[in-house]
Amino acid sequence: MCCDICEKNPSFKQDGTYVIFPNVTNLSCRSEFKFFLDKITAVSKPGKKNLLVWGRYTWFSCPEGVLPLANTLHVILTKKLRSPPELADYICEDFDEAIRLASQPPLSDLIETIWVIGGTEVYREAMEHPWCDLIYLTDIMADFDCDVFFPDFDRNIYRKQSRFPGVPHEIQEENGIKFQFQVFKKMC
């Protein structure tokens, strides 16, 4: 299971909008967003899928035009909805229920990787779960006005990898914004 997030101070949303990709046609860091989409949709075998776990607010703030995504199933965590919203596949009341859903047939035979898309509380629960072994984090080296933040995590448990397969390690720049992809691996 992997968590994926963009970080700077470590913030990522303002008034329900992602600060570096407010919509698909007006991306500040198009290559960062492409990397994110490539990661969460990649599978190693035909017929396999990745399960994307979304909090309800995160789902409904997804930039228009992003969905549907190839090779993915979507579970929305919510206590408010009775059926999955359009383009979502499942709803669960909490993170543990989503993990149970993914770990039992028929999904256990279909799912290759579980990706946690957010929000803050969903990330927090995921990082505390024993199955979470990687955190993909993009260090955005710019200041943005944000009101949603990535939760702190124990960097003694999750250690930053100096290099990780398939992840560029150098600082990149696009539209005057510098960023660096980072991977943190669980050590215990």
pTM, two decimals, is 0.87
Q: Residues 87-108: pLDDT tens digits?
A: 999 999 999 999 999 999 999 9
Averaged pLDDT for residues 61-75: 94
C-alpha span between 83 and 181 (Å, rounded): 35
User: What is the CATH number that goes with domain 2-186?
Assistant: 3.40.430.10
Q: Residues 130-182: pLDDT tens digits?
A: 999 999 999 988 887 777 888 999 999 999 999 999 999 999 999 999 999 99
Q: With CA atoms as reference, report the closest residue to 36 among 168, 173, 178.
A: 168
